Amino acid sequence: MSALDREVLALMRDVSERIIMPRHRALEATEIIEKADDDLVTIADREAEVALAEGLAKLHPDAAIVGEESVHADPAVMDRLSGTCWIIDPIDGTSNFASGKGHFGIMVALAENGFAQAGWIYDPERDRLCAAHLGQGATIDGEQVLARPSGANPPHLAAMTKFMAPAQRKRFETEIAPNYTLVQPPGAACEQYPLTVLGEHDVAIYERTLPWDHAAGNLFLNEAGGTCLRLDGTPYRVDDGRRGMIGAANRELFDQLIARLAAAGYQPAA
């Protein structure tokens, strides 16, 4: 691991041990708040973001802080994404965390001029760190990792259909899904990206692509030799506010799905 990897990992572990894991399966009803339909936040999310922001500011004082909960409180925080900034998802998979079922984790990225330069995905239950640095490859617990397809025929496809507009969902279900073996998305990008790299899922289609959910994972998959791009083949920017992205274990799987989406007339929602 690089020195920065070790420092970020130590911070993530500390926040997990002090704030997140003591609340796992121990939240009171009053400690779970619905920000919007099917969008939860817990006391652990809020406290963890504050602690992560304080720690990351010490590692790179010149970088702005963009956290999921800070943006919810003040949407103007999103304006910081075009500069040098830390991007924080204090608990990715909050619904899983709040229910006590499924995967969750911490996601952090360091971005500059709209592109992630480094990213970290920490799984507190496994004590597993997925890390990537632009142009330097991807690692899991310090060991270099390369994305690999599952070898399944048809390929395994994970789709977050709940974020699709009705017309998109219909096209997907009738014209795309029959060409794949559908696999259950984990309900957390912090788990979906490693599943694609590790050969469990071949390809994933994302509709909502918020920076705290995807900055670290997009970089991790691309640096592992996979392909994670917008539907028009352009790179993911953390500051462009667009929707729609495909993450695949290799370019062939990406191109195959893109061709099928184009033939079906599938377009990201505005």
Query: Per-residue pLDDT tens for 156-205?
Result: 999 989 889 898 999 999 999 999 999 999 999 999 999 999 999 999 99
Q: Are residues 174 and 114 in the same domain?
A: no
C-alpha 20/C-alpha 18 separation (Å) is 6
**Is residue 150 a part of any domain in this protein?**
no
**Which domain-ending residue is among 101, 119, 144?**
144
Q: Are residues 167 and 117 in the same domain?
A: no
Residue 162, token pair as written in the block: 């709940």
Domain count, the chain: 2
Q: Are residues 214 and 95 in the same domain?
A: no
Q: What pLDDT, on a 0 to 100 scale, did the predictor assign at position 202?
A: 98
Reduced to 3 states, what is the DSSP secondary structure of residue 25? coil
Residue 133, token pair as written in the block: 């640095």
**Which domain-ending residue is among 89, 115, 144?**
144
Using alpha carbons, list the distances in angstroms from residue 5 to 38, 44, 75, 184.
33, 23, 29, 31
C-alpha 162/C-alpha 167 separation (Å) is 12
Residue 269, token pair as written in the block: 């929602």
**Is residue 269 a part of any domain in this protein?**
no
**Is residue 8 a part of any domain in this protein?**
yes
Using alpha carbons, list the distances in angstroms from residue 57 to 84, 105, 226.
12, 20, 31
Q: Are residues 186 and 78 in the same domain?
A: no
Q: Are residues 102 and 58 in the same domain?
A: yes
**Which domain-ending residue is among 90, 111, 144?**
144
Question: What are the tens digits of pLDDT across the range 85-128?
Answer: 999 999 999 999 999 999 999 999 999 999 999 999 999 999 99
C-alpha 258/C-alpha 266 separation (Å) is 9
**Is residue 30 a part of any domain in this protein?**
yes
Q: Output the domain CATH number for residue 215.
A: 3.40.190.80
Q: Are residues 12 and 132 in the same domain?
A: yes
Q: What pLDDT, on a 0 to 100 scale, did the predictor assign at position 214?
A: 98
Question: What are the tens digits of pLDDT across the range 127-163?
Answer: 999 999 999 999 999 999 999 999 999 999 999 898 8
Domain with 59, as residue range(s), is 3-144
